[in-house]
Structure 1
């Protein structure tokens, strides 16, 4: 190609080449490839902050006017594209400068020139919009039309990181078709289009004449110019070319962004996922994709999101071709540089390719779906629609006793030591199979700590969807032994929540159990023996699916514990549930909890993942916080102390905003100022500029650190399935034959799960009945997916609390009861990854409460994130310190319980990962003093749930702790009050405000190093 350089311009040529290399390296290493790597890491966790951009300077709010949405979306688009567009303009000017120093700028053959464009464009890693100025500069510099058009298409479509992201998010065959069609457009369509162009367009002369410089006679020097003159000449040439590119491309860039914002705002995008496949609709969707000027990788991400939401595969394929390959901006630039004919032909080639690919994929997918159903169903009997199991809708003085802490755990290199829990006697096996690769089963099972036998040691209960319950007795030194409980009906039920709580106020903690579609139960504690053979049913909604969130408190202040049910229905693909997901409070009548008396909570039913009784306005009454996943906002209800609740509305102005995908809610005094903060966690980490606080490990290493051979083998078997199985609408029906390679239970579950996926893809609930009768869980998934959502009224929408994405929320007020404003970013708590259960406690006994977030998801991705520990620095800010504290863990984890399992005065943690063994984090800290208080209320609920303890140490620091049971995610901590004191040696004064609002002062000073039992007579 370029075999001739102007001899008089060799130094200029070398300088221009160096400029291109430096510019490309700076862009690739400082911006483009780190950003693409971050998107590849986040993959399934990416959320779009703007309909046309990854990140938003100003988030688009539904309450905005159309003009505001268009304006802000344009601003967000410009912000997202600013780095790529800057590189595009600079690269174009530099390349144009370089071309001025060469005399031959192409091959003779059109296909060879297209191949050259492929080689130039693929590594550039810029979006179709950013590639347009580069193409303008290349064409202005004299490169042939085939080269410039091929480079413009290749850069956004064939980048290796973008393709890696596509493989992680999309069915593999869609990625293969995308690559094949992109190569066809670049190597075949582009040369054919170029042949239809005039010769002067196809092989142009440079728009900007080659620089002439000063003659040797004028300079009085030899004909070979010196380095100084060469540098000056390049600067002059570059400046002139830069001004040319800026004039030609930047105004059109602003226009394209504005037009894209207009289109995306006015088009009914929410309808696309439910639109039945049709050829006319395919043409329209492909044309819209051709028009929109999207950032690099946006096509892959948005198609992944839409496909998961139910988009037809033909539409998805068309968008994969048109959305990132061409745009209105490309059309502007090609029209400007090559003419209207070239722009229309190029747009037509991309559009037709997208339409043909979409139609072909839709036909092939339908054929493969029919074949898959034949292969999977065989002679399977039809089953009737699954129905839920039948379920009917003293004087107040304090006595304080002290017990010294046990000696501290042995010191270690880090404050916590991570162990597989088998080493401390917790022998629960890994229970995960293909049936569990769908919500809620992929989200783990509950953990609950508490004293079952009243021996003073904290025991452990783990819920199981395989055997019902695992119960472990603590020997007091942090070693556990499994309790053989009597067999009963729960053995055959999928138990998700099992909570130790004294519901009958007899001093012994019962188990409240919630199952998947089998109802709820109370297991009596008979003097330390759990009567698992005779669980008493709790009356709940007849159509209830699962109470995935539970919280206990005494909101009516009658002395016994009531329970709030956070109901969940389907999640993920369905997103907006029906009335079956309405939350409810079951009222306890004098220690009898049957569910017969209840209150349904007002508002829009949501997919509730967290619920918590806590006093957020310090008025002495239990309030109720509800954390919902997806579009249905969280609800914060203020309690009146008599069982009544009023929802805080948008119009009240008391809550700035809440998360969109809330998974855990905690209320605690993080600042030691006596005013509680509300911390709500969600999927928190931006798609661009992922915080370095997020720690990622390649998914291929997921099972490597597991020590137990059986656990590791189970883990590897499931990860092998995960590599090919993308569920729901993302499923590739040609993979149906893979079920034949599995054995036993996995094979049967594979067939059932794939039939469910095919039903979702075909949008045909009748296919659900083809699932074999013994696979009722998969059939339940399938039928719930098609259950009708509940319509949202305009009044409900108007009253809803505002939502934000991609950041955790820390709501705090200057005074108790004041407006709650988000300070998470300022405090260092906005990032949490795919956050689940959250612990707020003083884990190093320095006197300040820290934050621990367990992390991860089974959603398709290429990495597994670590749990995150945010250490309270004591100045109102937090620093991520999971590595320094020994709290890293890259197993996907949703549930954990924090309690002092060895009695040494510091908090240990037990977590239950998905597809991994139970993990123990033993606190080996050697610093800081502490006291632990256990409450015993003979006039109210026995464990003092809902009580607020306020203490002052001998250094004058005041701390408050509320006794809560709930919040977080499927995690229930023993109801003890742990107070780290730092360097203080004693509590000099304090008081307890009990759940009934009565305050009682502590009768004596409390020395550090002891566990105190505080009893109200």
Structure 2
């Protein structure tokens, strides 16, 4: 609803007075939609100002006069942007000392911009004005944004940025290049992202000194709710992702665990938080003061726009007025909010009811703050057509420590600082960025739970732009204020070490590039979630020509043969003259392994073959064996040496399973072409004087029907001297 804004002044503990009207921030002179409000000291006079985002109307900047009144000065600062503004986040991205602004936008008019609007990166010019530097800084594309969070993802001292976008436009993960520009690394660093990205938050969930982050989606918590919702999502999009190499998008929450490398691990399912409902805000905070960040989510929606019955009902109504009436008369989607307790080992317990945080309704923005000065974070969240909710934190059993910083102007609150606390129980890390969750901001205070620890043994503060402060033996249960250290020479941010490995494939002569042939397999396989064609290439590695150097074979795909490369003394590779597998280029080779089958001490080549266009039992699906003469010259083995399996295999594992001194082979069935999700057959072959014989049922009953095998390995797990099989 486009009513007036509210500004609640706390007069005594948990007693508030709405002073928006008298303070001049009600913004009720128009009916323009209002979205997120950000509290920020924009002019660094020590008083918090308010930046209000609006829809299709100029954003408003209320400057705090210091007497409980405000003056609107958005145009003067260059922040009166008229667009589909959602929320603004402030950080010093260029480390010039002042706070810059990232403005998230959504759809302005669907008929004109169905994919949304372009976001804004607004550089602080240092003179009380801001300039749009989006294009030159590398901020790209139109999106339907919901939130953006600043955080230092790689501990280099420079703020990075994650932007959560709704629908099919993937999220953006902007890595700070330290020169005023950003590069979107979402395809490079993340295995997949959310589809309907909502709120997001960052924090060190496992106390390893690396900042992780969580992005919420709108996946229902129960199977019944999920199945009554929207139809299958994005088959065409999945196809596009495969062809264009877009990062995959899935309709569940994403918990991106920072590995300390350039690749995150997504572990929402492992943590048990993949589905939290129609989630808006996601917040990390140590509510019980045990030293680990817990999770809180707000849920609900004004209408259940994904309910399949409602969608079908409005489809049969011809008039626009009638369709609108269907939604207007539908009930709200009331849902409980959800809270999870961090157990300290990357597992989480649902404590929504236990902690009293299971309010049922439609809740949106959420922020944490110590409302009563007891050192722990309380919760405030907004509700649809209802007053805001304040949840007082009554945990008393854990010691705690709150830290606020006094930075230097023009960054008095030291936005972007990193605080590391060491106590007897371990190490914790916090980064000071105030815009979190969704359309929300909060005080620049770091809250640490100490559990039973009586003090913080060491506190290290890395100030934005450089400079380090260290404190020792700080007693628990205090709020401490730390001033910026004296001196003008900043300490350079810690640079990450140079990587230990470098990709030298192309300069070494390994210039093989897999060519994907598009085959329309999904139109006839409605249960199949992903394409199976082109799952290679696979590699085989070993000395096949007896020169003491390692050689490499790369498998081919449909209509592209594999390639054998001989290793050279200078570390480079050259294409081998003998390539007999070229005659089998129509096969989709899924796996390869160098293995001596005939006992002549020369590595032969075993190739596991597939092909989605084939029919089960077709000859093109038969695995192939190429015998080596010891000099790297290969010839396909004759009939009878290897069974004609007629199965699409991928995994190959080699070991001497019967202790007779030769190599036996396991091949794992990957799929049955045209019959998803039927179980393919796997095979265990015993080597009998150079001939492979199927002994699957004899030696491992049930192994042949084990399932869709993606990988396999022999290893002696129980140390009894015999190889065990891991699938």
Band the TM-score falls in, shorter-chain normalisation = 0.5 to 0.7
Q: Of 403, 425, 428, which residue of structure 2 is paired with 1:959?
A: 428
Note the 1:684-833 alignment, pairs <5 A. Answer: 684-685=219-220, 688=223, 798=244, 800-805=246-251, 807-814=252-259, 816-833=260-277
Which residue of structure 2 lines up, in the alignment, with residue 924 of structure 1? 394
Match for 1:525 among 61, 64, 80? Answer: 64
Task: Determine the structure 2 residue equivalent to 1:845.
Answer: 289
Distance 1:574 1:828 in 2: 40
* 1:551-590 map, 5 Å: 551-570=89-108, 576-578=114-116, 581-590=117-126
Corresponding position of 2:572: none
The CA deviation string for residues 420-458 of structure 1, in whole angstroms up to 9 with x for no partner, is xxxxxxxxxxxx4xxxxxxxxxxxxxxxxxxxxxxxxxx
Q: How far is the alpha carbon of 1:795 from its aligned partner? A: 11
Q: Deviations 1:101-132 (Å, cap 9, x if unpaired)? A: xxxxxxxxxxxxxxxxxxxxxxxxxxxxxxxx
CA contact (8 A) 1:567 1:607 kept: yes
Give per-residue Cα distances to partners, 1:726-757, cap 9 Å, x unaligned: xxxxxxxxxxxxxxxxxxxxxxxxxxxxxxxx
- The aligned counterpart of 1:1013 is 481
CA distance in 1, matches of 2:475, 2:91: 30
1:673–1:940: structure 2 CA closer, same or farther, 3 Å change rule?
farther
Give the secondary-structure state (helix, strand or coil) at the position aligned to 2:482: strand
Report the equivalent of 1:514. 53
CA distance in 1, matches of 2:179, 2:411: 16
**Structure 1 residue 559: Cα displacement:** 0.7
Contact 1:466 1:492 in 2 (8 A): no
C-alpha spacing 1:828/1:687, structure 2 compared with 1 (3 Å): closer
CA–CA distance in 1 between the matches of 2:271 and 2:364?
24
Contact 2:41–2:47 (Cα < 8 Å) also in 1: yes
Shift of 1:977: 0.5
Residues 538 and 595 in structure 1, CA contact (< 8 A), matched pair in contact too: no
- Rounded to whole Å, the distance in 1 between the matches of 2:397 and 2:434 is 28
What's the offset of the Cα at 1:688? 3.1
Query: What are the within-5 Å matches in structure 2 for residues 88-167 of structure 1?
Result: none
Counterpart of 1:663 (choices 178, 198, 204) is: 198
Q: 1:619 aligns with which of 148, 156, 167?
A: 156
1:476 Cα deviation after fit: 5.5
- Given that 1:504 and 1:592 are in contact with CA atoms closer than 8 Å, whether structure 2 keeps it comes out as yes
**What CA distance in whole angstroms lies between the structure 1 residues aligned with 2:36 and 2:383?**
15
1:607 corresponds to = 144
Aligned pairs for 1:250-329 within 5 A? none
Alignment deviations for residues 669-692 of structure 1 (CA, whole Å, 9 cap, x no partner): 011111111211111237736699
**Pairwise mapping of residues 385-400 of structure 1 onto structure 2 (< 5 A)?**
none
| 1:571 to 1:1011, Cα distance in 2 relative to 1, 3 A | farther
CA contact (8 A) 2:24 2:69 kept: no
Structure 1 position 1003 matched with structure 2 position 471: yes
Q: Residue 227 of structure 1 corresponds to which residue in structure 2?
A: none
Aligned to 1:178: none
Structure 2 match to 1:504 = 43
Q: How far apart in 2 are the matches of 1:986 and 1:488?
A: 42
Change (3 A) 1:576 1:821: farther
- SS of equivalent to 1:630: coil
**How far, CA to CA, are the matches of 2:114 and 2:80 in structure 1?**
18
Contact 1:933 1:1012 in 2 (8 A): yes
Corresponding position of 1:873:
343
What secondary structure does 2:471 align onto? coil
SS of residue in 1 equivalent to 2:296: strand
Q: Provide the C-alpha distance between the structure 2 equivalents of 1:575 and 1:924, rounded to a whole number of angstroms.
A: 47
2:356 counterpart of 1:886: yes
Post-superposition Cα deviations, 1:269-316, rounded to whole Å, max 9, x if no partner, equal xxxxxxxxxxxxxxxxxxxxxxxxxxxxxxxxxxxxxxxxxxxxxxxx
The 1:987–1:528 alpha-carbon spacing in structure 2 relative to 1, beyond 3 Å, is farther
Q: How far did 1:1005 drift? A: 2.4
Distance 1:849 1:935 in 2: 21
TM-score where L is the length of structure 1: 0.42
C-alpha displacement of 1:882 = 0.6
Partners of 1:616 and 1:667 within 8 A in 2: no
How big is the shift at 1:870? 0.7
The CA deviation at 1:605 is 1.0
Instruction: Check conservation: 1:550, 1:612, Cα contact below 8 A.
Output: no
Distance (Å, rounded) in 2 between the aligned partners of 1:598 and 1:569: 18
Separation in 2 of the partners of 1:596 and 1:541? 12
Residue 993 (1) aligns with residue 452 (2): no
- How far 1:663 moved relative to its partner? 0.5
Secondary structure of the 1:919 match is strand
Q: What CA deviation, in whole Å up to 9, does each residue of 1:607-642 have, x standing for no partner?
A: 000111111122211111111000110010100233
The 5-angstrom pairing of residues 26-41 of structure 1 reads none
Seen in structure 2, the aligned counterparts of structure 1 residues 799 and 974 have a Cα distance that, compared at 3 Å, is: farther
- After TM superposition, the structure 1 = structure 2 runs for residues 197-212 of structure 1, keeping only pairs within 5 Å, are none
Q: Distance in 2 between matches of 1:534 and 1:621?
A: 30
Q: Work out which of the two has the higher radius of gyration on C-alpha atoms and give 1 or 2.
A: 1
Q: Judging changes above 3 Å, is the alpha-carbon distance between structure 1 residues 831 and 573 closer, same or farther for their aligned structure 2 residues?
A: farther
Q: How many residues align?
A: 445
Q: Is the 8 A contact 1:838 1:851 kept in 2?
A: yes
- Alignment partner of 2:213 out of 678, 685, 691: 678
In structure 1, the residue matched to 2:381 is 911
What is the rounded CA distance, in whole Å, between the counterparts of 2:220 and 2:111 in structure 1? 22
Cα distance in structure 1, aligned partners of 2:258 and 2:390: 35
Distance 2:451 2:109 in 1: 43
Are residue 545 (structure 1) and residue 83 (structure 2) matched?
yes
Q: What secondary structure does 1:825 align onto?
A: helix
* Paired residues of 1:503 and 1:591 also in contact (CA < 8 A): no
What is the rounded CA distance, in whole Å, between the counterparts of 2:365 and 2:190 in structure 1? Answer: 27
SS in 2 for 1:909: strand
Unmatched tracts of structure 2, length 5 or more: 229-239, 308-330, 487-727
Contact 2:87–2:147 (Cα < 8 Å) also in 1: yes
2:369 pairs with one of 891, 896, 899: 899
CA distance in 2, matches of 1:999, 1:614: 18
SS of residue in 2 equivalent to 1:485: helix
| 658-667 or 909-918, which deviates more | 909-918
Q: Distance in 2 between matches of 1:923 and 1:889?
A: 15
**Structure with the bigger percentage of strand:** 2
**Which stretches in structure 1 are left out of the alignment for 5+ residues?**
1-431, 433-464, 695-793
**1:548 Cα deviation after fit:** 0.7
Q: Tell me by how many angstroms 1:797 deviates.
A: 8.4
In 2, the alpha carbon distance for the partners of 1:932 and 1:594 equals 33
- Displacement of 1:645 in angstroms is 0.4
Pairwise CA distance, 1:487: 4.1
Q: For the residues of structure 2 that align with 1:934 and 1:504, how far apart are their CA atoms?
A: 20
Q: 1:840 to 1:828 in 2, by over 3 A?
A: same
Change (3 A) 1:573 1:804: farther
Deviation of 1:849 (Å): 0.6
- Checking the alignment, whether the CA contact within 8 Å between 1:575 and 1:631 is kept in structure 2 is no
In 2, the alpha carbon distance for the partners of 1:657 and 1:1003 equals 40
Partner residue, 1:299: none
Q: Could you tell me which residue of structure 2 aligns to residue 485 of structure 1?
A: 22
The answer as to whether partners of 1:519 and 1:537 remain within 8 angstroms in 2 is no
* 1:449 alignment counterpart: none
Higher share of residues assigned helix: 1
- Normalising by the residue count of structure 2, what TM-score does the alignment of the two structures yield? 0.57
RMSD in angstroms over aligned alpha carbons?
2.9
Q: Check conservation: 2:87, 2:104, Cα contact below 8 A.
A: yes
Residues 331-358 of structure 1 deviation map (CA, whole Å, 9 limit, x = unaligned): xxxxxxxxxxxxxxxxxxxxxxxxxxxx
Matched with 1:39 is none
Is 1:976–2:440 an aligned residue pair?
no
Query: Is the partner of 2:269 in helix, strand or coil?
Result: helix
